[in-house]
Homo-oligomer: A and B are copies of this chain.
């Protein structure tokens, strides 16, 4: 018996949010109850709607409550001949924030991980293959993460693209601009040496 059941339950429920421990859950609950009831109700409403209605774009698999996400639905980008393949919807946002890519995306919603039961079907690769077979696509840019699983996934998709004679490349990994050599991990450093370009 810490508080009334409902307050206890609110504190407990808030912990489903990533990065929210017991202390911050309590702080959130009190602040909402003390002076944010209206935004709190609004959040409850939006959350319920989003959890129930947000699905995946039927062309690129990113999150959307429509059939097509805004990018796939747009005339210009939705018909682009270039697809950038990423692991998550958050990666889409990261690339969009860069502002240099103007093609469309394909979101795997994960990476190949046979031990966890994640194979080509779970990543929607037959849908991606449909795109490749359609004749509308000329280039595939692989932007999976530079991890063992991300590498394996990239190679698997690269093979698929080759079978359909689609040009395929992978984004460069290396020392970030502004990064200092001594603080870069050894894997990144190895990647940056392997990917060196003549000047």
- B-facing mask of A93-108, CB < 8 A → 1, else 0? 1001000000000000
Q: Are A17 and B32 in contact (CB under 8 A)?
A: yes
Which of A6, A13, A26, A47 has the most C-beta atoms of chain B within 10 angstroms of its own C-beta?
A: A47
**How many copies of this chain sit in the oligomeric assembly?**
2
Segment of A59-67, A134-142, A179-187 engaged in the interface with chain B = A59-67
Give the docked Cα–Cα distance between A51 and B28 (Å): 12
Q: Using a Cβ–Cβ cut-off of 8 Å, how many residues does chain A contribute to the interface with B? A: 56
Q: Mark A7-28, 1 if CB is under 8 A from B, else 0.
A: 1011001101111000010111
In the complex the two chains form, is B3's CB within 8 Å of A31's CB? no
Query: Which residues on B sit within 8 Å (CB–CB) of A29?
Result: 50
Q: Is the interface of A mostly helix, strand, loop or mixed?
A: helix
On chain B, the residues within 8 Å of A1 by CB distance are 70
Nearest to A57 among chain B residues (CB) is B4
Is A90 touching B43 in the complex (CB atoms < 8 A)?
no
CB-CB under 8 A from A88, the residues of chain B are 30, 34
Asked if A36 is at the interface of the complex by the 8 Å CB criterion, the answer is: yes
Closest residue on chain B to residue A71 by CB atoms: B1
> Does A196 count as interface, using CB distance less than 8 angstroms?
no
Q: What mask results when residues 61 to 85 of chain A are scored 1 for a CB within 8 Å of chain B, else 0?
A: 0111110011000000000000000
Q: How far apart are A52's CB and chain B's nearest CB, in angstroms?
A: 7
**Which residues on B sit within 8 Å (CB–CB) of A39?**
13, 16
B16 and A63 within 8 A (CB): no
A43: chain B residues within 8 A (beta carbon): 13-14, 16-17, 44, 47
A32 / chain B contacts, CB cutoff of 8 Å? 16-17, 47, 50-51
A50 vs chain B, min Cβ distance (A): 4
In the assembled complex, 6 residue pairs joining A and B whose CB atoms fall closer than 8 Å, in A order, are A3-B89, A6-B49, A6-B53, A6-B54, A33-B50, A33-B89
The 5 closest A-B pairs by CB, nearest first: A16-B39, A44-B48, A44-B47, A4-B64, A13-B43
